Amino acid sequence: MISAVPGLHLAAILQRNRGDAATFYPEAQVVSTLEELLAIDEIRLVVIATSNSSHFDLARRCLLAGRDVVVDKPFTTSLREAEELVRTARERGRLLTVFHNARWHGDFQTIRKLAGAGTLGRLVLYEAHFDRYRPPLSSAASSRGLA
């Protein structure tokens, strides 16, 4: 996503365990804590692409630190968390959005074009479902919100 948007560049990656981030993104600084990431003044926008259960806490901390935030879907795991993030963003004058990458998929764009042209008549509801194989997660992972 970052490389596809003019004006954005990847400044840093938060990776708690030493993985391949530095190999794949040599231009980015690799840090191991959110505090280290937020200490980098150059960073104005944080993209959160972590386990679902961590979205709220990370997004809230970034907003409170004065950063704009893009959160991968699902935005949060509860309505209460979502409302709190929106309120925090408004109070701080920060941008906050969820990343809906599927809206740029070819199938969705085709439906959008057909609907806009009236080819499908008057649409009342559009629902799409995309399946892909995912191995079953253990119940421990699922109960911790890692699913």
Q: For the chain (length 147 residues), average pLDDT per consecutive 10?
A: 81 85 88 95 93 94 97 92 98 93 78 90 82 68 56
Same domain (yes/no): 79, 91: yes
Domain total of the chain: 2
pLDDT score of 140:
58
pLDDT score of 127:
80
Where residue 38 sits, what CATH number does that domain have?
Answer: 3.40.50.720
Same domain (yes/no): 56, 9: yes
**DSSP for residue 123:** -
**DSSP for residue 102:** G
Same domain (yes/no): 34, 84: yes
Task: Name residues whose C-beta falls within 8 Å of residue 128's C-beta, 6 or more positions apart in sequence.
Answer: 102, 107, 108, 111
Q: Which domain holds residue 25?
A: 2-102
Same domain (yes/no): 123, 109: yes
Asked if 81 and 52 touch (Cβ cutoff 8 Å), the reply is no
Same domain (yes/no): 29, 95: yes
Q: Is the pTM of this model over 0.75?
A: no
Same domain (yes/no): 126, 108: yes
pLDDT score of 98:
92
Same domain (yes/no): 68, 16: yes
Same domain (yes/no): 12, 59: yes
pLDDT score of 73:
87
pLDDT score of 23:
86
